Structure 1
């Protein structure tokens, strides 16, 4: 499976986002492969999503944003939402094993997962307004339910970076462990889940989607707004600055 590796180990399906050259950021093909892996995981007791060494996930691939086309960007936006929906609709608990930076859509992937365990070196944060985008598929809506509206707006507006310890304090993750204990810690949670009824875990999970489902229309609305902004000066400057590794200089508000 292109840029996604799947390892069925004991009671869990481990899905690894494997594009280290771009910090495991996903393009539409990679997101589709992850969706396929999630949908094929029904025989496992849990699903674990992690990243190849070096990062957890940097969100959607930004290399196409400097010269964006509507078709490409619409495909990227839709693939992001399809991935997050697959996580939420999976009948099994989905655990984020955050082994490095979770940025932008990667941070929203953590929001989408049912549980999250972070390595101590992991970092978290949104990137949208800094790179000419907006985090409309989780961080501007569901994240407020998880960590509180003011903190969610701080994360979405200011694009700050948060340590794993700060993410734990906020309530974005369930536990933080030493880097070399991450796999063991996740395996421990999987073992706990494996001792429980998969039927009633599924009922519990789907019932817990009430806030995600309530916000779901806003995801589509937000993505529609992003499509309308494709090629705008703010988008091009944010993406170009990111790719050139410099501070962006956005135009004054109109």
Structure 2
């Protein structure tokens, strides 16, 4: 049986691919069950995985929540299962990149917003269409979208159900990077390499620090940084020694 979410590991990078291309990777309960299993494995593997990329197979990232699944009556393994899976992805210790090409609508946008960074191809198309179907979000749209693009832009997206291009997503701050489709994979590879080259300890610690201080007043945030940060990582001395040795060789 074909996996609905595949995982590929290479040099510390775990790539999770939504793998239902014949349905434009529309999100159903079975896909979320597989995604949750992968997340559970990754969150325990701090030594083996330093970065996660979430992307879609075929023509797009995902067309969104499977409307057929909704119409037939979903049977998730527990209440709010999809929402808690997305939150589990968002709170992975490791950084997460959402890599979006083609459609990224509604539920798929809620899933993509779980990424710490979002890389868009020029072909990317983003929309929140809850209002088109007389639905309201339960997977995090009302909270993560305004935190990413600001409340006024979130209102615009939610009220109009308009589709936005990759370039527009970059301009509004939804995407960190937007590149031509032919440069998409190379850009992801270069970005992943640059992140993985840094201390995985620091990447995890910085992600936690940002999450723990989100919404705090400046004074409280500064105090948290001083007294509650993770401190010095186990690879600090080796990294400084490597830099010192490299500098000394250049000067010799």
Identify the TM-score tier after normalising by the shorter chain.
Answer: 0.7 to 0.9
Alignment counterpart, residue 136 of structure 2, candidates 131, 134, 137:
134
Tell me if the contact between 2:29 and 2:75 (Cα under 8 Å) persists in the aligned partners.
no
Query: Of the candidates 184, 187, 190, which is equivalent to residue 182 of structure 1?
Result: 184
Query: Corresponding residue for 2:109?
Result: 107
Secondary structure, aligned partner of 1:63: helix
Structure 1: unaligned runs, 5 residues or longer: 215-254
Residues 129, 161 of structure 2: 8 Å contact kept: yes
- Describe the shift of the 1:104–1:212 C-alpha distance in structure 2 as closer, same or farther (beyond 3 A): farther
Deviations 1:7-62 (A, max 9, x none): 11233111100112221122122112112212323322110000011110123221
RMSD: 2.2
Residues 86-235 of structure 1: matches in 2 within 5 Å? 86-210=88-212
User: What is the aligned length?
Assistant: 211
Does 1 or 2 have the higher relative contact order (CA < 8 Å, sep 6+)? 1
Encode CA deviations 1:115-174: one digit per residue, 9 max, x unaligned. Answer: 011111111011111123122433212211211101101111221100000000010011
Could you tell me the TM-score, scaled by structure 2's length? 0.77
In the other structure, the counterpart of 2:36 is: 35
Seen in structure 2, the aligned counterparts of structure 1 residues 89 and 213 have a Cα distance that, compared at 3 Å, is farther
Structure 2: 5+ residue stretches without partners: 217-252
- Conserved? CA contact 2:127–2:162, under 8 Å: yes
Contact 2:145 2:154 in 1 (8 A): yes
Higher-Rg member (1/2)? 2
TM-score under structure 1 normalisation? 0.76
SS in 2 for 1:56: coil
Aligned match for 1:60, one of 60, 65, 85: 65
1:9-48, aligned counterparts within 5 Å? 9-41=10-42, 42=45, 43-48=48-53
